[in-house]
Amino acid sequence: MQVKALACELPSKRGLPFSRFSHAEIAREAMDEGIVASISGTTVWRWLNADAIKPWRFRSWIFPRDPDFAEKADCVRDLYQGIWEGKKLYLDDYVISSDEKTSIQARNHSGLRIAPKPGQCQRIEFEYKRGGALAYMAAWDVRRAKVFGICEKTTGIEPYHRLVDFVMQQEPYCSADRVFWITDNGSSHRGHASIARLSQWYPNAIQVHTPVHASWLNQIEIYFSIVQRKILTPNDFENLKTLEQHLMEFQVHYQKIAKPFKWKFTKKDLHKVLSKLSSYTLPGEKLAA
């Protein structure tokens, strides 16, 4: 128990010039303090690994603190199920999931490459030349599985406006009864000002925000994860023009095979998670469940 307690301490509390213990260092400290006469780092690892609760480990996370989290999340989830304010959407209603993938770098790995061999993968030079960065603005039609995207030098209200124009000036959106735009709370489309601005641009467009710290509710992030795996890994582009060309070509390719994402996270699932998280709220805060 003393060794486990030692593992939970910060090295700085003991005047040590590093931020985390290794198994060997825990063993050394235990012997220096006289907790044990002799012990190996392997034994320390075996003891710590067998523990059911490991307080010496931690993970960073973003805690949902929006007091209206459940209400906003339910609204987004309902739209995915074809429901708005308790009523089914009409045939000429559309749901768009939109966001931007920021600061995509063009990295030119022009160094030595070694072809794969039996038992050895291909090797690509780690160093690269920076070719600049761009932002990929994209919109996903949730029910029709259509993707629209443009590349911009940076994000902002005007680049977002151009994406909205790109979508809303096409059929069937320009003549649709309602087009719901699901976005997160990024600076390009944040708050009530953004809702009013979108309505001024296109009266039939309705902006719906995800809760703060809940971009995972935005289906466009699924498409961005596909882009990350299929286009940007590995990242090897001569310049921004080449990078943009690949993004646009993949967009056309993906459109040919795209199907609506099967959204399986239900209201019941959401409220079960929020109920569990409610025990972790900070003093003075309340998470709606």
Over residues 104-132, the pLDDT tens digits come to 999 988 777 888 999 999 888 888 888 89
Q: Is 109 in the same domain as 204?
A: yes
Instruction: Output DSSP code: residue 54.
Output: -
226 and 112 in a common domain: yes
Angle, helix 23-32 to helix 41-50, in steps of 10 degrees: 110
Distance CA 65, CA 74 (A): 16
Provide the residue range defining the domain that includes 81: 69-261
Res 289 pLDDT > 50: no
At 234, the amino acid letter reads P
Say if residue 126 is in the same domain as residue 251.
yes
The verdict on 42 and 153 lying in the same domain is no
pTM above 0.95, yes or no: no
| pLDDT for residue 282 is more than 70 | no
Name, in order, each residue with C-beta under 8 angstroms of 272's C-beta and a sequence gap of 6 or more.
none
For 134-170, b/e burial (b = at least 16 CB within 10 A) is: bbbbbbbbbeeebbbbbbbeebeeebbeebbeebbee
Q: What is the pLDDT of residues 64-104, one digit of tens each?
A: 778 889 999 999 999 999 999 999 999 999 999 999 999 99
* Collapsed DSSP state (helix, strand, coil) of residue 60: coil
Lowest mean pLDDT among 31-40, 48-57, 190-199: 48-57
In a domain, 75, yes or no: yes
- Reply yes or no on whether the pLDDT at 284 is more than 70: no
pLDDT, mean of residues 231-250:
94
Are 205 and 141 in the same domain? yes
Structural domain contains residue 151:
yes
Same domain, 14 and 82: no
Q: Are both 237 and 130 inside the same structural domain?
A: yes
How many structural domains compose the chain?
Answer: 2
Closest CA to 96 of 154, 201, 153, 176: 176
* Other Cβ atoms closer than 10 A to 171: 7
